[in-house]
A and B are shown apart, each in its own frame.
Chain A
């Protein structure tokens, strides 16, 4: 480094190029889905109903992933998201029932998640326990505490039982936005290539959508802004990249890690609250069913960035929602994945990466054969989709991902030379 002044030009250009890239990928994905929809004649693939279900399935995963993002950006791996989320489901139900307001319930969910986060912070930050070990223990405590608390507090309530509490008030739903909802729905019904798919998406976002879903999408934007555009966020991320350097610059690393893990727990808790209040008819024990882990996977998929996390969560949410719908739609999904794999194969052949091309061509061809030789896919296989997708994506993309440099490493105050 000989010069201290750098022109902002190239950096901005690179960033804009990256942003354009994301947009390009998103539009390309919509186009491929649209093509498959028309070829296989399954309009349910992007119907307003499917997209609405996908958004509902996305939100909890998104919140868990956001929780992971906050913690890992500060250098703490939080496997305990699942436990914090499950605590959130109980918190939402308990506080909603006793206050009568679902928004107080969401705050309660955040509070319970935060308690789980506090435990994780005490163990990993103050005492330097291995992050995975502490997370595993917190998941045990979270599931145990929720089961016990539900039996102790919901059994005698109206609509309650030892393992559930239903009939809770739900957060406000926005029925329709005049001018947009109607025309978008009309356009979606035309089943035109591309345009109708985008219209479906707009219609789902503006009709009968829970206000909490919109709050969650806003939280993603807010998290991205705080972490990357404020000095607070810069300091927090410096704890995840190089805590010793941060310490020498006067950053209170312990404090930032605590704040990050507490926010992380709160986010996961809100995700649990969404599950109990919006995604289903009420609280039930073990409602999260591994979504905390899926959220973590979505975050890794998204390369520890909010935009990528959103893309990951939408992918998982979409596949997750399809299994609840028409089996024919899932069958078309086979063609979708086959087309995607073959597209990657072609790309690799062009780039002369022959080994990589073969690795893509084999599953691609197998899926194509499967699609052509059958009429439907067993439901069990559909519910496997998010997990198999995660494995595939990680196996293909891990080398290109870059996690925070000091993520998961122990740090002790005063260790900077």
Chain B
């Protein structure tokens, strides 16, 4: 970042470029293989989105981005928080149930509900942190188990305390926070709490680059032994990072709850799967605030635009899940290839400079 180096920027963009080419190629091949028309598919996908879709894309981007920040907090320190899904499901339920209780009014209710979401998400993911530091259990396995437990637990709580309506169960309805309508009313509104994503992104950048905690976090991610030698308590770092990651995860669905959903219902109003999308986007954007923003926008665009496929083509919208998966796999492979290539380039430069230096002294 010190000097403008076109080659460094070129190398940094090479990874994503390879990934996009690979995912486009694979998607096209899969569509052609089952006998549909890739041309129709791409022209529908590249069609400029209608106002309604544009609003949806922004709302979705915000939620996916928050999820990606949550994942990245763990990744930057070498922790795999695969449990985002469970953390935000449980936190969303708790916040929705509290908000539905209407113990407070107006913005106080919203604010306290958000705090509850953060607390529940943090507490649930801290379990994995504590298991790792005290009992040596890998966070990968424990968070996966906690996902399943959380989702079943929410199902039980909802059944017991929720509002039963026909075949569905949900929490008590709440008042929405009115958003911003950029187009006409029928095109929907951009939710107020989309601001959470912006705060999460900025907060993440400040935390990593401007605070001691952020430095310790990155140091622990790079080398645990070095971090320990410089006075970082690894156990405390692990629990704090897990709790922080889970706390942000708790906020993932909050924009939708107060923007449109009005209640929490499994399989109805609640949008599941954002946790896994967040992990994918964090990998895609290399855990960098700006990189993840592009990743979140891309994933949101693919998800929202794929709805148009049903009317315009015979390709099922689930095709974009393949595109997304291949993009993630291709990008991690491409980064690794670029990293090795760059290491080789640097070695060559160093050996050249050393060579001339020895010649000069000789």
Determine which of A79, A129, A290, A394 lies in contact with B332 in the assembled complex, contact meaning CB atoms within 8 Å.
Answer: A129
Q: Which of A37-45, A137-145, A184-192, A230-238 contacts its partner?
A: A137-145
State whether the Cβ of B321 lies closer than 8 Å to any Cβ in chain A. Answer: yes
How many whole Å from A65's CB to the nearest CB in chain B? 13
User: How far apart are the CA atoms of A144 and B26 in the complex, in Å?
Assistant: 13
Chain B residues within an 8 Å CB radius of A153? 34
B155 (CB) vs chain A CBs: closest residue: A380
Is A223 at the interface (CB under 8 A from chain B)? no
- Asked if residues B142 and A394 are in contact (CB atoms below 8 Å), the reply is yes
Complex CA gap A143/B273 in Å reads 12
Q: B321 to A148, Cβ gap below 8 A? A: yes
* Docked CA distance A130–B340 (Å): 14
A119 vs B22: C-alpha distance when bound (angstroms): 13
Which one of A129, A380, A381 lies within 8 Å of B333 (CB-CB)? A129
Q: Separation in Å of the A220 CB from the closest CB of chain B?
A: 21
Known A145-B322, A293-B144: A137·B328 in contact at CB below 8 Å: yes
List the A residue with the shortest CB-CB distance to B82.
Answer: A136
Given A148-B318, A149-B34, A293-B144, also A138-B329 (CB < 8 A): yes
User: Is the Cβ of A297 less than 8 Å from the Cβ of B145?
Assistant: yes
Query: Is residue A252 within 8 Å, beta carbon to beta carbon, of the partner chain?
Result: no
**Which chain A residues (382-396) contact chain B, with CB distance < 8 Å?**
383-384, 387-388, 390-391, 394-396
Question: Is the C-beta of A128 less than 8 angstroms from some C-beta in chain B?
Answer: yes
For B159, list chain A residues within 8 Å (CB): 380
Given contacts A378-B156, A387-B148, A390-B145, contact A398 B137 (CB under 8 A): yes
B293-340 interface (Cβ within 8 A of A): 316, 318-322, 324-326, 328-329, 332-333, 336-337, 340
Mask of B135-148 contacts with A, CB within 8 angstroms, 1/0:
11110111011111
Contact A162 B316 (CB under 8 A): yes
CA distance A107 to B351 in the complex (A): 53
Complex: A199 Cα to B34 Cα, angstroms: 51
A104 at the interface (CB under 8 A from B): no
Which of the residues A151, A383, A390, A391 comes within 8 Å of B152, measured between beta carbons? A383
What distance in Å separates the Cβ of A308 from its nearest Cβ neighbour in chain B?
A: 16
Q: Are A147 and B337 in contact (CB under 8 A)?
A: no
**B141 and A296 contacting across the interface, CB-CB below 8 Å:** yes
Closest residue of chain B to A153 (Cβ to Cβ) is B34
- Say whether B30 faces chain A, with CB atoms less than 8 Å apart: yes
Q: Using Cβ atoms and an 8 Å threshold, which residues of chain A touch B80?
A: 132
Q: Which of the residues B145, B146, B321, B333 comes within 8 Å of A127, measured between beta carbons? A: B333
On chain A, the residues within 8 Å of B340 by CB distance are: 128
Q: Which residue of A lies closest to B140 (CB)?
A: A132
- B190 interfacial contact with A, CB 8 Å: no
B204 at interface, CB cutoff 8 A: no
Tell me the smallest distance from the CB of B320 to a CB of chain A, in Å: 8
Contact A381 B145 (CB under 8 A): no
Contact B135 A395 (CB under 8 A): yes
Interface flag for B217 (CB, 8 Å): no
CB–CB A141/B329 < 8 A: yes
Q: Quick check: B316 and A137 within 8 Å, CB to CB? A: no
Q: Which of B137, B279, B318, B324 has the most CB of A within 10 A?
A: B318
Q: What is the CB-to-nearest-CB distance from B266 to chain A, in angstroms, rounded to a whole number?
A: 11
Residue B241 interfacial (CB < 8 Å) = no
> Is A133 interfacial (CB 8 A cutoff)?
yes
The listed residue (B131, B324, B326, B328) touching A395 by CB distance below 8 A is B131
Indicate if the CB atoms of B318 and A144 lie closer than 8 Å. yes
A148 to B321, CA, bound (A): 8
Report the minimal beta-carbon distance from A167 to chain B, rounded to whole angstroms. Answer: 22
- Nearest CB on B from A21, distance (A): 23
The 5 closest A-B pairs by CB, nearest first: A144-B321, A141-B325, A140-B325, A380-B156, A137-B329
| 8 more A-B residue pairs beyond the given contacts A79-B140, A148-B322, with a C-beta to C-beta distance below 8 A | A140-B328, A147-B316, A152-B316, A383-B152, A387-B149, A394-B135, A394-B141, A395-B131
Residues of A within 8 A of B (CB): 79, 119, 122-123, 127-130, 132-134, 136-138, 140-145, 147-149, 151-153, 162, 290, 293, 296-297, 300, 378, 380-381, 383-384, 387-388, 390-391, 394-396, 398-399
Sample 20 A-B pairs with CB under 8 A, ordered by A number: A128-B336, A128-B340, A129-B336, A133-B283, A133-B332, A134-B332, A136-B276, A137-B283, A137-B325, A137-B332, A140-B276, A141-B329, A144-B321, A145-B325, A153-B34, A381-B156, A383-B152, A384-B153, A387-B152, A398-B135
